[in-house]
Amino acid sequence: MMDYGGEARRRKLTQERRNNMERQNRWVVSIFLMLAFTLFLLGGTITYAKETIKIGGIVDLTGPTNDIGVPWAQGIADYLDKINKEGGIKGRLIEYFPIDYAYKLPQAMVAYKRLATEHNVIALIGWGTGDNKARIPLVNKDKIPQLSAFALDQTEPYTPYNFAHMISYEHQIMGMLQYAKDRPIEKGRKIRVAYVYSDAEYGRAPIRYLKERNYAEKMGVELVDEQIIGQTATEAVSQALTLKKAKPDYTVVVLTPKPASVFIKDAKKVGLETTFMGFSFLGDYSLLKLLGEAGKGLIVAAPCCYGHETDVPGIKKIWDYNKKYYPERKVIELQYVYAWLYGMIIEEAIKRAGDNLTGESLKNALETFRNFGTDGISRPITFTSTDHRGSYEFKLSVANPEKGTFESFSDWIKVEK
Amino acid sequence: MPCGLFHTVYKTDEHIFKTIWVKSWLVAFGFFLLLLPFFVSNYVLYVCNMISIFIVGAIGLNILTGFTGQISIGHGAFVAVGAYTSAILTTKLGFPFWIALPIAGFFAAFIGMIFGIPSLRIKGLYLAIATLAAQFIIDYAIVHWERLTNGITGISVPSPTLFGFVFDNDKKFYYLLLGFALVAVVSGRNLFRTRVGRAFIAIRDRDISAELIGVDIFKYKLLAFGISSFYAGVAGSLWGHYTNVITPEHFTIVLSIDYLAMIIVGGLGSILGAVFGVVFMIIVPELLTTVGILLKSTFGEITALISAIKGLVFGVTIILFLVFEPDGLFEIWRRVRDYWKLWPFSYR
């Protein structure tokens, strides 16, 4: 008798082995395909159009500050796109490479290396305070001017390739303390202030600067408490309770909208009665949505005009562009306006730099800015060869939860250098 | 001609490179690595350097988790200990890099051994949680011990020098880091040909049996934590001196999880697997960014979408790996290699 079952099993096994082989072949083939695809991609990046002006952006679209990082990234991309749609600068189009770094330092570093050596950008748009600072030695070495979203802080008053158009956070707080001091609550009693700030560098650096110089005391106000809120905090009850015991008249808030909304809500919940004064990145419409009624009375520093102030010529231009290309957009965030300003600055700098366009000539062109007008969006901007902070002026605005906007109520406040 | 590898003595079975072909390919690969910096941009070199640094750290974790079976979610913290030790020694005490680096390694090993003590009593998930505590404690210490660590601001770290030669650009660092990665791979591979390495594997496979055959469990578990953290410390020190700035933001739990993902994707319990895992985990996000930039120039407003789906693609890739290739990239590599070994006369 022949063992048919055994034979069949053997055949089946052989078949299976063959299938395995084929599967392995498929692996080999797919790995080769992947390699080929990679090479194709690399080839694609290298053979790019030649006559463009290359600008890099390191932006936060998916990280902890993306609530304000996204409108910012849109603003700069839109302005550069507007330049291209209008035919470029002296016929040269702009090629913009935005890279999302999710607010992570190593990713920011690798993004910078990619932009500087792979794409050979001549200017860089930066976002986070920490990664901008880490890049300062690199941009100085590579001679790539970097325009930072964050305001340059006092500890580093001048580095050749770092620029910011905005009044620094320290100066904003100084201005706010001045404002608070001028409005005493009771006669004969010093105004009580508290600092609430993020554990990220943008929060710690300005507070450290002010504390090192005992600024509050010198101003004649009393610093009663300070609290640190985590950048990704989901509750801040304990901080709010400690703050309540300190009874501040004014509370300076250096937090981005997400943690700020958490803190302000919890503060209202525990019954903290104080006037909140936020730094410039709090002037965000989304914050008011998050806060609702709790946002009433919130004062925010504004280094430029808001998107709803359409009587300002510069803001009107933003809306003209958006109505034409993005008719679905109903609000223009403050960060969008900040970023738009950088677009204006870059355009002007490229125009001034002339035909020999390099990072160095761009930097020199930027340093020729004297009271450069921005169509009323912000105060005129000045960069000199010793000071790269564009402006020392800001306005104060108050939240209007019913309308979901901020209303400017002060004139431009100039803070001494 | 033999159609396979047939060992007649144990000594040849122990060889790492078993055939002349393996050796010649290796030499070719070595030349390729040595000549690479002359043909690629600084960006590619930066990616290569990150890979080298992460290889050192990932081999460390694989020794602990892959070979000894002790899960650690605190590896990033031990990297931080190394980075900060080295940074503080070089900036505040003026030590040269070459002395600070081993001290950083040993100090990280010491801290790692302290946090390894619970491993005698607990294992599996419980040990994972205990090492998680290490992550948070060390993180907290770095952020709040501002006098020593500068807190969230971080420390700017000098570039290493050797007899007046400064390692200050990507190319110079490439060779330095390549050397360190090589030493890490060779020492890691050889560790498992020694008594200590075999004791680690015995503990992983069945700790009770290991104890019965005379393996001092406590000693070897602590040793595994120590060796693993030593690698981590060296990786941290290298990272600090390479990027010239360290802040606590880099050494969060995300880094620990990245390391774990690297050795899982690459292959637990394999030195080469750790290398593959690192290469994969670093190159894939970069490729996705490249795709994003390319698509952007073709389709316009897509950057936001690409960065949003980048995490998604990455996660899905890892899940697919775990489902279809639980033994990691190393297993794929082994299969492909075996296929070619007998090519074109393989059995069918």
pLDDT digits (tens, 9 = 90+) for B49-97: 999 999 999 999 999 999 999 999 999 999 999 999 999 999 989 899 9
CB-based contact A204 B336, cutoff 8 Å: no
Euclidean distance between CA atoms B156 and A323, whole angstroms:
47
Q: What is the pLDDT, as a whole number, of residue A21?
A: 56
Substitution target in B139, B152, B305 with the highest count of A β-carbons within 10 Å is B152
> What is B282-312 written as a DSSP string?
HHHHHHHHHHHHHHHHHHSS-HHHHHHHHHH
Number of residues in chain B = 348
Is B128 exposed, middle or buried (CB count within 10 Å of its CB: 0-12, 13-18, 19+)? middle
Helix (H), strand (E) at residue A148: strand A146-148
Listed ranges A191-205, A283-297, B108-122, B138-152; the one with the highest mean pLDDT: B108-122
Question: Of the given ranges (A270-274, A336-340, A386-390), which has the lowest mean pLDDT?
Answer: A386-390
CB-based contact B143 A199, cutoff 8 Å: yes
Alpha helices in chain B (DSSP H): 10-14, 20-35, 42-61, 75-92, 97-116, 125-144, 146-149, 170-191, 195-205, 207-212, 217-243, 253-266, 271-299, 303-324, 329-341
Helix (H), strand (E) at residue A230: none
The band of A8, judged by pLDDT with boundaries at 50, 70 and 90, is: low
ipTM strictly over 0.90? no
CB-based contact B304 A73, cutoff 8 Å: yes
The band of A154, judged by pLDDT with boundaries at 50, 70 and 90, is: very low
Q: Identify whether the C-beta of residue A216 lies closer than 8 Å to the C-beta of residue A245.
A: no
Substitution target in A35, A47, A100, A129 with the highest count of B β-carbons within 10 Å is A100
Measured CA to CA in angstroms, residue A348 lies from A351, A372, B26 at distances of: 5, 9, 55
Minimal CA separation from A114 to chain B, in Å: 5
CB-based contact B47 A27, cutoff 8 Å: no
Residue B313 contacts A, CB cutoff 8 Å: no
Residues 6+ away with beta carbon under 8 Å from B117: B222
Nearest-by-CA chain A residue for B45: A113
Substitution target in A74, A117, A254 with the highest count of B β-carbons within 10 Å is A117
Which of A113, A116, A130 lies nearest to residue B249, judging by beta carbons? A130
Enter the pTM of the model.
Answer: 0.76
pLDDT digits (tens, 9 = 90+) for B294-347: 776 555 555 566 666 777 877 888 788 888 888 888 888 888 887 777 666 666
CB-based contact B289 A41, cutoff 8 Å: no
Euclidean distance between CA atoms B158 and B152, whole angstroms:
18
Q: What is the pLDDT, as a whole number, of residue A17?
A: 62
Show residues of chain A in contact with B153, CB under 8 Å.
201, 204-205
CB-based contact B287 A41, cutoff 8 Å: yes
Q: Domain ranges in chain A?
A: 53-166+308-386, 169-302+398-414
Nearest-by-CA chain B residue for A45: B294
Tokens describing residue A55: 């600008």
Helix (H), strand (E) at residue A39: helix A4-46
Euclidean distance between CA atoms B13 and A16, whole angstroms:
30
The superfamily (CATH) of domain A169-302+398-414 is Response regulator (3.40.50.2300)
Euclidean distance between CA atoms B262 and A207, whole angstroms:
39
Tokens describing residue B116: 């390894």
Average pLDDT on A105-125 reads 86
The band of A23, judged by pLDDT with boundaries at 50, 70 and 90, is: low
Residues 6+ away with beta carbon under 8 Å from A309: A315, A408
Q: Identify whether the C-beta of residue B256 lies closer than 8 Å to the C-beta of residue B94.
A: no
Q: What is the pLDDT, as a whole number, of residue A43?
A: 47
Q: What is the pLDDT, as a whole number, of residue B232?
A: 96
What is the widest separation between alpha-carbon atoms in chain B? Answer: 69
Share of chain A above pLDDT 70, in %: 86
The band of A38, judged by pLDDT with boundaries at 50, 70 and 90, is: low
CB-based contact A110 B46, cutoff 8 Å: yes
Show residues of chain B in contact with A137, CB under 8 Å.
156, 244
CATH-assigned architecture of domain A53-166+308-386: 3-Layer(aba) Sandwich (3.40)
Number of residues in chain A = 417
Q: What is the pLDDT, as a whole number, of residue B322?
A: 81
More confident residue, B242 or A25: B242
The CA-CA-CA angle for residues B44, B46, B52, to 5°, reads: 105
pLDDT digits (tens, 9 = 90+) for A55-88: 999 988 888 888 888 888 888 988 998 998 888 8
Are A53-166+308-386 and A169-302+398-414 the same fold in CATH?
Answer: yes
Helix (H), strand (E) at residue A407: strand A405-408
